[in-house]
Chains A and B, each alone.
Chain A
Amino acid sequence: MLISQFLILGAILFCIGVYGVIARKNAVLVLMSIELILNSVNINLLAFALRNGSADGHTFALYIIAVAAAEVGVGLAMVLLIYRNRRSIGLDELSEMRG
């Protein structure tokens, strides 16, 4: 196995996630795209952990999984609050902070 095949897979998933963040208006779908991005980072970390024979990459991958779980929890709570106040979770309608 080449190392670059895993890195290219990570890059493809990252770019699909970036496209999702740009293109989607629904807040839940934007959170899903962020999950895609975090998973591509994990694939990269584990590929380098295998290449270097060290456990650092595994540790950081576990930390990233924990941070992603916390992020989804807070993000969905915020989406729920926005929906309760505005009856919509379209991100382009949230323009109150515009100066």
Chain B
Amino acid sequence: MIAVELFTAQNIGFAVISLLMIVAALRVVTTSNVVHAALWLVVVLSGAAAQYVLLAAEFVAVTQVLVYIGAVMVLFLFGTMLTRARIGTERDLNNSYRLLGIPVAGLLFAAMAIAIVSSFGDEELPGEPRLIGVPEISDQIFGPYLLPFWALSFVLLAAIIGAIVLARKD
């Protein structure tokens, strides 16, 4: 029964997008060019936005495109531009003990995979999900989650002021 339902359009889309995301994420952490890493990160973030659409979260997907791909990537490219004399391949981007990261990440993934498979196994997502629109999200933000929203606005204010104070020449 599982085999019949394996090749739905959603599953094929998920497989293609997630393969692209994983390859791009590996390139982000292995490439020797900072600008290329930023561009591969754009691929990962776009794939994440596509996954959000697949998970019926259109508003979060649009916000992801606007904030991450629009604003955060520009910040990253500015940071690269302002801190490096030349754009191009660069050695010495990795730590000397970077091989230590492979067993750490592998063990972490093994632990998480065992936990996920043993907890959720082959539990299906609901086929006809309850669609959540923007009004309901805004009711959540300005209702029960108002206090985190205020905290978040202070965080943003502090971040803006802090970034200006740190980066300006005096």
Residues on A close to B: CB < 8 A? 1-9, 11-20, 22-26, 28-29, 31-33, 35-36, 39, 42-43, 46-47, 49-51, 53-59, 61-63, 65-74, 76-81, 83, 89-90, 92
Instruction: Flag if A77 contacts B166 (CB, 8 Å).
Output: yes
Instruction: Flag if A22 contacts B83 (CB, 8 Å).
Output: no
Instruction: Flag if B137 contacts A62 (CB, 8 Å).
Output: yes
Instruction: Flag if A79 contacts B105 (CB, 8 Å).
Output: no
Instruction: Flag if A49 contacts B29 (CB, 8 Å).
Output: no
Cα distance A98–B166 when bound, in Å?
23
Query: Which residue of chain B has its CB nearest to the CB of A35?
Result: B41
Query: Which residue of chain B has its CB nearest to the CB of A22?
Result: B101
Q: A4-B117, A63-B152 are in contact. Are A33 and B29 (CB under 8 A)?
A: yes
Partner of B125, one of A3, A12, A15, A35: A3
The verdict on B87 contacting chain A, using a C-beta distance below 8 Å, is no
Q: Across the interface, which residues of A come within 8 angstroms of B71, CB to CB? A: 69
Q: A15-B109, A58-B137 are in contact. List 17 more A-B contacts (CB 8 A).
A: A5-B14, A8-B113, A11-B112, A15-B105, A17-B29, A28-B79, A29-B29, A35-B41, A39-B48, A43-B52, A56-B145, A59-B140, A61-B60, A65-B60, A65-B68, A77-B166, A78-B166
Range class of the B interface residue count: 35 or more
Query: Which residue of chain A has its CB nearest to the CB of B56?
Result: A50
Give the shortest distance, in Å, between B133 (CB) and chain A (any CB): 9
Partner of B109, one of A11, A32, A39, A63: A11
Instruction: Flag if B125 contacts A72 (CB, 8 Å).
Output: no
Instruction: Flag if A24 contacts B93 (CB, 8 Å).
Output: yes
Contact with A along B5-34 (1 / 0, CB 8 A): 000101100100010011001101100001
Q: Across the interface, which residues of A come within 8 angstroms of B136, CB to CB? A: 55
Cα distance A67–B151 when bound, in Å?
10
Interchain Cβ contacts under 8 Å between A and B, 17 examples? A2-B123, A4-B117, A23-B29, A25-B95, A28-B34, A29-B34, A31-B76, A36-B29, A39-B44, A47-B125, A59-B141, A59-B145, A65-B68, A69-B156, A70-B156, A76-B163, A78-B166
When A and B form their complex, which 9 residue pairs have the shortest distance between CB atoms, in order from nearest?
A: A23-B98, A22-B101, A20-B29, A70-B159, A77-B166, A19-B105, A53-B130, A77-B163, A76-B79
Partner of A46, one of B55, B106, B160: B55
